Amino acid sequence: MPNLDDPQVFKQYDPEGMLTHLHEMPQLCQQAWQMAMNFNLPKDYPEVSKLVILGMGGSAIGGNLVSNLVASEAKLPILVHRDYNLPAFIDSKTLVIASSYSGMTEETLSSFEQALETESKKLVITTGGKLKIMAEERNVPVFSFDYKAQPRAALAFSFLPILGFLQRLGFISDKSADVTETVEVLQKLSRRINEGALLSQNPAKQLANRLYEHLPIIYGAGIVSEVAHRWKTQLNENSKAWAFYEVSPELNHNAVVGYQFPPELANKIVVVLLRSAWLPRRIQLGYQVTCRLLDQAKVSYQIVDGEGTSPLSQIMSLVLFGDYVSYYLAILYKIDPSPVKAIDYLKEQLKDSKL
């Protein structure tokens, strides 16, 4: 098994430089926020009563994080839509944001093309591609950014701009101070868990070691529900590993009953519970009881806490921690974290299909 304290292993197994994108997360958050503050939004966009975000994978998760973060204060419902066909309720009071890093995501292009035939307000977040061309041809505002990476590594640009737009349109409170704090928290956290921090003092490396050759199951709740989703997909895409996620309190009505069988799985599973100081007291209590049930089932688990004082910093610190864990796990599996060959294969097969 590779030694995570050996700098050479990162050069050997990470030739495309995913590690660099982890280092850049704090500054990307600051950059994406500032770009959103300077972006020209049409004057009639505050008139909408619902927000629908079109996207897939790494381009869609930002919308989910926003929806969880502002659920208790947003003055409109927020739906993240991952599909080919547009929901029937889209109307002139809907703001449709199509988010696709490449601008070539098949499902997003299909649903956005349908949105163009509605009276909805529209906005696009992309680096280019067909999505940008379609938007510009119909005079749809395009939030365009230039950052070369896998879409999942460009999370800052699918998350912070949507949050910023909601603020500027008057649907949520001012998050500027929270963004400033979040950047500082991420900088400090990165120094503690980056590749230069030794395994003996690096909790992200330690957790990656625990997950090695085990099945990770990530638990989240409230504002960190979609952070659990992010962990799951990062473990899939970076680590090329099986992973699943569950959301509390719902998991306490079903998942906890399933710890018993098959018994041979118990020592191959590690449950990671993501926790935030902003979770309600009843959720926190539910976590404690869940841990006792895991103990009884002899299933290993670990709690990871968000950092900082604001909900935003709690969310993003857990995101960054999970990104590092998935990266280190990829190195332990001796696999390049960047390519997603299975997804590329799927896209090629769908493109060549005549169905």
- 124 and 53 share one domain: yes
**Is 267 a member of any domain?**
yes
- 39 and 151 share one domain: yes
Using the predicted structure, report yes or no on whether residue 355 has a pLDDT greater than 70.
Answer: no
Tokens of 171: 């649907």
Residue 264 falls in which region: left (phi positive, over 0), alpha (psi -120 to 50) or beta? alpha
For the chain, give the mean pLDDT. Answer: 97
Contacts of 49 (CB under 8 A, 6+ apart): 76, 93, 94
Using the predicted structure, report yes or no on whether residue 354 has a pLDDT greater than 60.
Answer: no
pLDDT band at 352 (very low <50, low <70, confident <90, very high): confident
Contacts of 233 (CB under 8 A, 6+ apart): 57, 58, 61, 152
Q: Look at residue 236 and give its three-state secondary structure.
A: helix
d(CA 337, CA 340): 8
CB neighbours of residue 88 within 10 Å: 6
The number of distinct structural domains making up the chain is 2
- 23 and 160 share one domain: yes
CA torsion 75-122-29-311 (nearest 10°) is 20
Quick: pLDDT tens for 94-108.
999 999 999 999 999
- 162 and 206 share one domain: no
d(CA 143, CA 97): 10
**Is 37 a member of any domain?**
yes
Q: Which of 189, 190, 179, 275 is nearest to 227 (CA)?
A: 275
d(CA 121, CA 114): 13
pLDDT band at 322 (very low <50, low <70, confident <90, very high): very high
The two counts, helices (H) then strands (E), for the chain are 12, 9
Tell me how far CA of residue 121 lies from CA of 21, 62, 118, 128, 237, in angstroms: 33, 20, 9, 20, 33
**The residue type at 139:** N
- 168 and 30 share one domain: yes
**Is 179 a member of any domain?**
no
Quick: pLDDT tens for 217-256.
999 999 999 999 999 999 999 999 999 999 999 999 999 9
d(CA 312, CA 171): 16
Using the predicted structure, report yes or no on whether residue 55 has a pLDDT greater than 90.
Answer: yes
**Is 345 a member of any domain?**
no
d(CA 197, CA 259): 35
Active site residues: 237, 253, 347
Q: Average pLDDT for residues 317-325, to the nearest whole number?
A: 98
- 230 and 301 share one domain: yes
**Is 339 a member of any domain?**
no
Q: Look at residue 224 and give its three-state secondary structure.
A: helix
**Is 162 a member of any domain?**
yes
Quick: pLDDT tens for 143-162.
999 999 999 999 999 999 99
The residue behind tokens 């070539």 is 104
Calculate what percentage of the chain has a pLDDT beyond 70.
99
CA torsion 142-147-150-153 (nearest 10°) is -100
- 152 and 30 share one domain: yes
Quick: pLDDT tens for 108-155.
999 999 999 999 999 999 999 999 999 999 999 999 999 999 999 999
- 141 and 223 share one domain: no
- 109 and 235 share one domain: no
Task: Quote the domain boundaries for residue 226.
Answer: 198-332
Q: Average pLDDT for residues 170-193, to the nearest whole number?
A: 98
Q: Average pLDDT for residues 279-287, to the nearest whole number?
A: 98
CATH number at residue 158: 3.40.50.10490
d(CA 110, CA 121): 17
**Is 277 a member of any domain?**
yes
d(CA 218, CA 57): 17
Determine the pLDDT at residue 149.
97
Using the predicted structure, report yes or no on whether residue 22 has a pLDDT greater than 90.
Answer: yes
